[in-house]
Each structure stands twice: as structure tokens, then as C-alpha cells.
Structure 1
């Protein structure tokens, strides 16, 4: 392999100097936002993550776009030498039974553009990386419907605090590679691994480029490195490979609850299909999860948690009319702070405070 310490694409520079013992990094011109946002649909796994203060560092196979962090982003412009195959494969024991078998594998693979080598390279390196996706935009009109269906919730993190708390709670062999904005592009170009002595740059590049169709997300990612987090092969289409040492808990990434600035519930969180809602005052609403629904206990668990933990920091997403310069009305999104208290058993009281934050677009 050649020795190249950086790769430039679309005004982003992917840099790594192994000799200096540095972590790989991405240089860019975007300003780090003061706050980062996580949008959650309402479900058992999301409530468990929120209540237990952890973020999930996804393997690339678990992402919702097959081009995102894809293994097909690795290619080689030249034939990889036998010595490199030998060094890479024999770091792992029992891959081949005999040297003859290995030599035949090499001959076959170079005829196929080293595809098995690149696939194995991707699998080995991705076993040590995880992706935590966040948004840098609070008033994200598409994130609410796409990720919460307007029934979930949004968590507002203080950027410096979430990074510090994750770093403080990581294990001794774990690392935060960094917080990086996505590099949105009209065309996703693969990276030539032949140019690199190590594979840190190809890996961080693959996790950072995304089609500009996704730019509305304003995504920032925290890249986490942990030993042997596992590979969920069974999540691939037409895969007959069993998962490799994969347990979701290995990808849990703890943070301090103090890193949360506030939370915002979706506009339809207290829907009539899930709650009995009773207006008892101009700004007071009594709500009770319907006992007949499957998520009744989960709603109680969630509401009890935010009452105990986020008093004064809870909002509900809303809608408001504004008037333009010509006097015509138009709609904007808002959020209003509310106070939620428990009345008895599974009944709760929501009091609107009138403290409204407007989001103009």
C-alpha cells in the first residue's frame, strides 16, 4: 500500500497520521452548532435508550440508506499485492487451512478486482466503529414527520456537554473519533484504498458522504470506536451469513442526563387514539393513556420519567398563524413550554405556560 495521509472530497479533507498516534479527523468549514437534536419515534427501544441515557452507535448495515457508509465505497485502482493480502488475512487465524488454499484465493480475487479483500476489509474495520446520528437544526420540518410521525419526541442536547459526558463514560479502550457534519454531494464517489497504508481514512470517508437528497436533515455524526462491537450481517438483503459477535448492547453509548437541555413532544403525542383527553381549563388538559392500548404502560413510564427528571424543560410542538408584509396569513411551527404533573394512578395534568418559541423558515 502507498502512504497517503489525507483525502480531499467536496471541500472536506479526511486526515490521518498514524506515525504521530493521532485519531483520524475531518477538516471542514462548517461551524459546530451549540445544540444537537435527536428525533425519536415513540417505541420501547427508544424509550429505553432515553430513560437509561444512552445513544446507539449504529453499524453501517443498520442505517436507513444503502448508499450511506456503504461497503461499495471501497475500491482499488491497482491490484493489491500478495504481501498485503498475506499480512491482512493472517492477522486473523483459521481463515485458511493451508497456504495453497490461500494462494488460490488470492489468484481468484485479483481477477475479480480484489472484491473479497475489500469486503473483508470493510467488515473488519466496521466492527470497531459506530455512527450516532444527530441533527444540527431544531426547527426541522421534515425530521418531525419522517422520524417521529409527529407522535414521538425530540431531545435537545448541549453539544459540548454531550461530547464531554460520552468521553468521560467510555471504557478504557473506547474512543470518540469526532463530531463531524455530513458531506452532502450530488454524486457519491468511492475511495481508492490502494493509496492508504491504513484504512482509517477510507472508513471515516465512507461514514461521512451522503447524497444531497438528505441535506434537509442537517446531520452531524459522532463516530465512536470500540473493540469488537459486532457485525449484523443478517440485516443485509439476501445475506446467508450469520451475525458476527453482534449484541446491540455493545453499541450502547452512555451520556450524562445533564447534557440534555430540554425535550419537545410531538404535536400529536397526546392523540385521541392513545389518550383520554379532557379540557378542564383554558390552559389545562387532563390526559390518561388508554388502558386498552399496548403502549399504555410505556406512556406511563415515559411521562413519569420526564416529570421526575425534566421539570420546567418540557415543550410541545405546535402551529401558529403569522402575517406577512401584505397582510396574508401563513403557518409556522412553534413549541410551547408545558408543565406536566401526575394527578393519580395513570392520570396527568398538562398546563400550558404561554411561553412560545416560533420557528420561521
Structure 2
């Protein structure tokens, strides 16, 4: 087992591409429940309807410095190690005629072997970003835009069923993100690193402190042949052409979209609706107080009405509404109230707020 301590976090890996015993231990205990924030769009509707989480490739993160290959520093790599890594990425033996490749890449600060390694290892990995905080104003504003929703997930139920519902998943882990003052590049040739898997584990789990408000936990998924973003693989097109000329090999990066992680309905403990989810003028034709609030939805907004009916039919006892609350000192904060949506007909609902 390969283990490395970094600023209070313990990173460990069994050096397997499938992450058999990969773990990250920080200061906080794993929460029993975590939250997934969604904007209202076709992708989030589909994810809730079919009960899956999308395990993103790190290249798709909204922060380009999150899990970037630029954190991997190959400046101390020797030609012998370079050859071994090249053979690992190519899954073939080289002819040994790599001097020109090595010195060409060295002049580029080993940009190409870094990208080639990053693409090779990341295509079997996917990441689901979750939060332990469901009342953070920045999260609601940035990720749900107050018109989206948040799913409350029971993590024990979810983890117990991942491999049952996803037989292509080899391994997974749930890890706390480590927030740091500055992002330091990682010397891939450190003596403590017995293989490149551990520094990759570290590189994909550190974020700058200005993201700490997210309280992120990352579900790390390992399965073979997930998609590689096309523009990422195109970034090393010239280097691949040089390799092919020298080594007579072809490299094919799969462009599959196999990053869905299914979970059981029982794992959903709550659907938290944004403050403006039900009251948008473009969806709601009329709102009237009558022992509660009557919502008349516009018949032409078929997709939204269908989704509201889906929520009521499947999660009527698990719906909550985000709103503001005055404390006894007159300060204002966000809170959630349990709500009941009573279906009058397919287009009309009675809304009652039950309790905090």
C-alpha cells in the first residue's frame, strides 16, 4: 500500500488502475447525508427521473484549476522512466528509439507525456461533486439559481447499492475535498510515490480555499472505458502523430458516454426546491391565497407541469421549499420548510407549508 501525508490529509492507494483500496482521510467524519445541487434543465430532470448521478471527467469541471494535469510535474523524469511511462500509456513496448521524443518533450517542459498520462488514467475515472451543506446561499445561487432543486441523499443506501445497480463499476470511494491556500505542483518522481496513481489521487482532491464554502465530498467512480473529452485528446494530436511515426502504433481514445451512476429511489430522503421554483411567472399563470396557495400552471409549459406531477406522484412526503427566515434578533437567514402539494387536477395544485 502506497501512503502519503499532505497537510493533515492521508492519501493511500494500492497502485491499481481500478482503485481497489484507494482512500483519502481528512479531519471530518463522513456525513450520513449529502446533497446534490441542480439547475432546472433537461439534464437534471432526466437524472432525477432515472435516478442517476453523472460522474464527470475532471476536464469538465467548472473550475479549470480543479484536478488539472498542470499540477503533475514531470521535470525530474529520466529517459528510462519516460520510456516506461510511455509504454504504460501506449500499452505496448517501444522500439527504444525515443531520444528524439524525449528531448522534444523536454523542451516543452514534458507537456505531452503529462497530458498523455493524464488522459490514460482519467478515462477510467469519474467524479460526482456533493455537498454536506444544504442552506448555503452561494451554493443555491451558483448551482440552482434559486429556480432549481437539491436532492438529499442517504449515502449508506447509495453506497450499498452502487455495485448492484452498476455492474460495470469496478470500485468507488467517497472522499472529503482538501482545501488549501495555494495549489502546489506535485513532483511525480518523489521518493514516496511508488507509482503515478498516488499523485493523481492527490491532484484530483485539492482545491483552493475560496471554494471551501462548498463543503464538497467527492464520489470517485472507477470503471473502464468512460468517455474522454474530444478537445482534451486533440490537445496532444501532434505528439501522437510523432509517436506513431517513430513507434508504428496507433492510439485510440474512446469517445463513449458511460458516466452514469444509478442509485435506488430509497436513497432520496428529500427534494429541496429553490425559492422561485414554483412561482416563476413563465410557468405559473395565477397564484391565489385560499386556505393555502393555489398554483395554476400554464398548459403550454408541458415539460415543467409534467415534472411537477412527477414530484408529487413520487415524492409528495419528501418535498421542501427554500425561503428566508427572520431570527429573533431580526437577522435574516435561509431555511427550509416541509411542503405539501395537493393535486387538484393535472395543471392545478394547492400548496401548503407544514413546518421548518
Whether TM exceeds 0.5 here: the answer is yes
The verdict on how the C-alpha distance between 1:98 and 1:31 changes in structure 2, with shifts beyond 3 A counting, is: closer
**Distance in structure 2 (CA, Å) of the matches to 1:354 and 1:61:** 43
**Distance in structure 1 (CA, Å) of the matches to 2:45 and 2:199:** 34
Please give the residue correspondences for 1:154-233 in structure 2 after superposition, counting only pairs within 5 Å: 154-172=150-168, 174-176=170-172, 178-195=173-190, 196-233=193-230
Matched, 1:298 2:303: yes
**Cα offset for 1:96?**
10
**Distance in structure 2 (CA, Å) of the matches to 1:94 and 1:323:** 66
- Structure 2: runs of 5 or more not aligned: 239-251
Matched, 1:313 2:318: yes
Question: 3-state DSSP class of the match of 2:303?
Answer: helix
Matched, 1:267 2:288: no
Q: Contact between 2:135 and 2:334, CA under 8 Å: does it hold in 1?
A: yes
Matched, 1:57 2:66: no
Please give the residue correspondences for 1:6-25 in structure 2 after superposition, counting only pairs within 5 Å: 6-18=3-15, 22-25=20-23
Please give the residue correspondences for 1:1-361 in structure 2 after superposition, counting only pairs within 5 Å: 5-18=2-15, 22-82=20-80, 84-91=81-88, 99-100=96-97, 102-172=98-168, 174-176=170-172, 178-195=173-190, 196-234=193-231, 244-248=253-257, 250-270=258-278, 271-289=280-298, 291=300, 296-324=301-329, 329-345=330-346, 347-356=347-356
- Structure 1: runs of 5 or more not aligned: 357-361
**Distance in structure 1 (CA, Å) of the matches to 2:118 and 2:235:** 16
**Distance in structure 2 (CA, Å) of the matches to 1:336 and 1:86:** 60
**Cα offset for 1:104?**
1.5
Q: Contact between 1:156 and 1:261, CA under 8 Å: does it hold in 2?
A: yes
Q: Contact between 2:79 and 2:102, CA under 8 Å: does it hold in 1?
A: no
**Distance in structure 1 (CA, Å) of the matches to 2:178 and 2:90:** 37
| TM-score normalised by length of structure 1 | 0.86
RMSD value over aligned CA atoms?
Answer: 2.6
Q: Contact between 1:280 and 1:286, CA under 8 Å: does it hold in 2?
A: no
Q: Contact between 1:40 and 1:147, CA under 8 Å: does it hold in 2?
A: yes
Q: Contact between 1:338 and 1:350, CA under 8 Å: does it hold in 2?
A: no
The verdict on how the C-alpha distance between 1:96 and 1:350 changes in structure 2, with shifts beyond 3 A counting, is: farther
The verdict on how the C-alpha distance between 1:276 and 1:11 changes in structure 2, with shifts beyond 3 A counting, is: same
| TM-score normalised by length of structure 2 | 0.87
Question: 3-state DSSP class of the match of 2:67?
Answer: coil
**Distance in structure 2 (CA, Å) of the matches to 1:299 and 1:23:** 43
